[in-house]
Structure formats: structure tokens, C-alpha cells
């Protein structure tokens, strides 16, 4: 090992020995992440195909936009430690369902269920788990429709089923969730009880607006 490489390795170790050890499984880890990146592409393509088809047939777009991300090593480590799972590449694939995540943002609540239904019907998709935080919001007011699905990805010499987490929500729910996440950790001196109370009220107001907008759309589309 050259001096320069030795210094780099020491540097990583100094910052965080656990992250250093985790990154040392580099090749295996990079290959796994490549597989998840490919799974994201598969799911995003499926969603775009559905959106294009509906926009041509019914002249409306159920999906406003799609975001995707691969979970960071820090976030994976944190989750595995919280769940008491040994940190190995094999365990990441086995136990962490949301390494690959897609967020689908719709204008209307009905579109969320329509997209979820159309995706679930596809014969190469296996739905592993559904959490409906719209029908059953979290106590803090969080609303979103979550699915863990498995999609086959075709590589040069194999076909591998890969898990992807899909979160489907309205623009308003997405605005609330993004801000709640940031506001909660912004100022440790703030009165958290008061802030959580206000956030819950906002989540309930947002839900009322989403339901009213859905109602208006139902009336407009009824006689078309």
C-alpha cells in the first residue's frame, strides 16, 4: 500500500470506524447499489408509461412528478443499528426494504389509489407490503400511501428480484412531509410540543383541502 493510500484509510477510520468498515465491503456494496439503481429505473419507467397512457387516453396527468433516491450509507447504518441487525451487505438486502425509494406526487387522492392499483396489477410486480397512512394517518398527521414491491431486473447473466419502496402522496401531503421533516430538527430550543400541535393541525387542514379538491374534480368529471 502506498503512503497516500494508507493516509486515506486512516482518515476514514478516524472519522467513523463503523462507516470505514462498512465502506470496506466496497465492491459487493457497489454491485448491490447498482442493482437497486436499475430497479429504480424499472419502476420509474412503469410509472411514466402509465402516466403517458392516461394523458393520451383521458387527457389528464395523474402523476405530477416523480422523485427517486438511493438510501445513503449513513442512513442504512442508522436503520440497521436501530433494528439490531448485523451490518453486512447480505443483511442490507435481506432486511432493509427502502434502499431504493420512489416518491410519486399526484394532484388528487383518487389518483394515488389508481396508480397503486394499476402498478399492483402488473404481472411482473409482487406487492410485499402496503401501509396506507392516508386511511390510517400517523398520530403526528403524516399521510402517504406506501408500498414495498419486488420487480425483476434482467442483468447479463441473471434475473434478480429487487425491492423498491414506493411512496405515493398528493402535492399537499408532500409539502407537509418535507417541511415537517426539516422543521422538527431545525431548532432544539423551540417549543416542540407547540410545533407538533400546529403541524398536526396543518396536516388536518391539508387533508380537508385535498378532499374538497377531489370533490370538485368528481363534479367536473361526472358528466364528461
Q: Where in the sequence numbering do the catalytic residues fall?
A: 165
Maximum separation of any 2 CA atoms in the chain, in Å: 75
Distance in angstroms (rounded) separating the CA atoms of residues 61 and 171 = 13
Measured CA distances, 194 to 168, 191, 200 (Å): 28, 6, 10
Q: With binding defined as CB under 6 A, does residue 170 bind ligand 0O2? A: no
Please choose, from the candidates 160, 166, 175, the residue with its C-alpha nearest in 3D space to the C-alpha of residue 119. Answer: 166
Q: Which of residues 74-103 bind ligand 0O2 (CB under 6 A)?
A: 75, 97-98, 101
Instruction: Sort 43 into a burial class: Cβ within 10 Å, 0-12 / 13-18 / 19+.
Output: buried
With CB under 6 A as the contact rule, the residue among 177, 199, 203, 206 that binds ligand 0O2 is: 177
With CB under 6 A as the contact rule, the residue among 143, 146, 163, 169 that binds ligand 0O2 is: 146
Interface segment toward ligand 0O2; rule CB under 6 A; list 8-16, 45-53, 175-183, 192-200: 175-183
Interface segment toward ligand 0O2; rule CB under 6 A; list 8-16, 45-53, 139-147, 193-201: 139-147
Q: Which of residues 101-120 bind ligand 0O2 (CB under 6 A)?
A: 101
Distance in angstroms (rounded) separating the CA atoms of residues 88 and 34 = 17
Q: With binding defined as CB under 6 A, does residue 142 bind ligand 0O2? A: yes
Q: With binding defined as CB under 6 A, does residue 169 bind ligand 0O2? A: no
Burial profile 20-41: b = 16 or more Cβ within 10 angstroms, e = fewer: eebeeeeeebeebbebbebbbe
Chain contacts with ligand 0O2 (rule: CB under 6 A): 71, 75, 97-98, 101, 131, 138, 140, 142, 146, 177, 180-181
Amino acid at each position: 500500500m502506498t503512503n497516500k493510500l494508507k493516509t486515506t484509510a486512516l482518515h476514514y477510520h478516524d472519522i467513523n470506524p463503523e462507516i470505514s468498515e462498512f465502506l470496506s465491503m466496497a465492491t459487493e456494496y457497489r454491485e448491490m447499489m447498482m442493482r437497486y439503481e436499475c430497479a429504480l429505473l424499472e419502476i420509474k419507467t412503469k410509472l411514466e408509461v402509465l402516466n403517458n397512457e392516461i394523458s393520451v387516453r383521458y387527457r389528464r396527468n395523474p402523476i405530477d412528478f416523480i422523485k427517486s433516491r438511493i438510501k445513503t450509507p449513513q442512513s442504512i447504518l442508522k436503520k440497521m443499528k436501530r433494528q439490531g441487525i448485523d451490518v453486512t451487505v447480505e443483511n442490507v438486502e435481506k432486511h432493509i426494504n427502502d434502499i431504493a425509494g420512489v416518491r410519486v406526487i399526484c394532484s388528487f387522492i383518487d389518483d394515488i389509489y389508481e396508480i397503486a392499483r394499476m402498478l399492483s396489477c402488473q404481472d411482473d410486480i409482487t406487492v410485499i407490503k402496503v401501509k396506507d397512512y392516508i386511511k390510517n394517518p400517523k398520530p403526528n398527521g403524516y399521510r402517504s400511501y406506501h408500498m414495498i414491491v419486488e420487480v425483476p431486473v434482467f442483468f447479463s447473466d441473471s434475473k434478480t428480484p429487487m425491492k423498491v419502496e414506493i411512496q405515493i402522496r398528493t402535492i399537499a401531503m408532500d409539502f407537509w412531509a418535507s417541511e415537517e421533516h426539516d422543521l422538527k430538527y431545525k431548532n432544539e430550543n423551540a417549543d416542540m410540543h407547540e410545533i407538533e400541535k400546529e403541524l398536526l393541525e396543518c396536516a388536518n387542514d391539508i387533508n380537508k383541502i385535498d378532499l374538497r379538491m377531489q370533490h370538485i374534480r368528481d363534479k367536473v368529471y361526472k358528466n364528461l
